[in-house]
Amino acid sequence: MICGYCQKAVIRNLTVKELLFPWRLSDFELCKDCSGLFSRIDPAANCLYCSKSGVTGTCPDCQWWQAQRPAHLLHHHALFQYDEGFSEWLSRYKFSGDFRLRHTFNQQVKKHLQAYHGYLICPIPLSEERFFERGFNQTSAFLQAAGIQTTELLVRSRHSAPQSKKNRQERLQMPQPYEVLPTIKHITKRKILLVDDVYTTGRTIRHGAELLWAYEPAEVRSFSLAR
């Protein structure tokens, strides 16, 4: 086993399950040192709708979103706090383009997405310009690295300045940047999980969800590595 972040060999005792089913042993996991760089979000102590930490019940952001679209509640789950450790990882993976890091959270993603059996797993798309610049869609890449089958339903038609350069107000006012793909016809009555790398204001995920809702899926939920 190799650490999906520092790329060093992971030395640990195997579990009984791994000894009995060695073919299930994964190629990548986080070593002890690297796993200490990230903070897991505690599902018991966060917003019910977006995983914002330190909030019980519904956070003010989600109350605002629910007032905009009372008919459509969106449940979002995130695994990690967007802190210094996560931001350092993201900058190496996404902005420096270290494609090896798509394996960093293989175990955590695989385990979490077991709860979404039967869902179409749809990554948030990149614009063509951004795709050619980076060479990969960071969200599709970490999902596929974890062995998750993805379905493309959306395409990004509008190329704009990176979200990371915008303040909260500018992010919330962004016009709809996505369009639907012909695959969208098959989503009626299906359950869909929209996936992004980071959830900040919720604007991106909701732009995606708004297009999906028009085709009457049974449910739209969302997931990101960090919040």
**Residues in the site for Zn ion, rule: CB under 5 A?**
3, 5-6, 31, 34, 47, 49-50, 52, 59, 62
Q: Measured from the CB atom, is 19 or 45 closer to Zn ion?
A: 45
Nearer to Zn ion, 4 or 125 (CB): 4
Q: Shortest distance, CB of residue 63 to Zn ion, whole angstroms?
A: 8
What is the closest distance, in whole angstroms, from the C-beta atom of residue 91 to Zn ion in the complex? Answer: 17
Contact 211, 180 (CB under 8 A): yes
When the beta carbons of 5 and 86 are compared against Zn ion, the nearer one is: 5
Residue placing its CB nearer to Zn ion in the complex, 6 or 211: 6
What is the smallest separation between the CB atom of 144 and Zn ion, expressed in angstroms? Answer: 21
Which residue number, 77 or 94, has a Cβ lying nearer to Zn ion? Answer: 77
- Shortest spacing between CB 185 and Zn ion, in angstroms: 32
Q: CB of 11: closest distance to Zn ion in angstroms?
A: 11
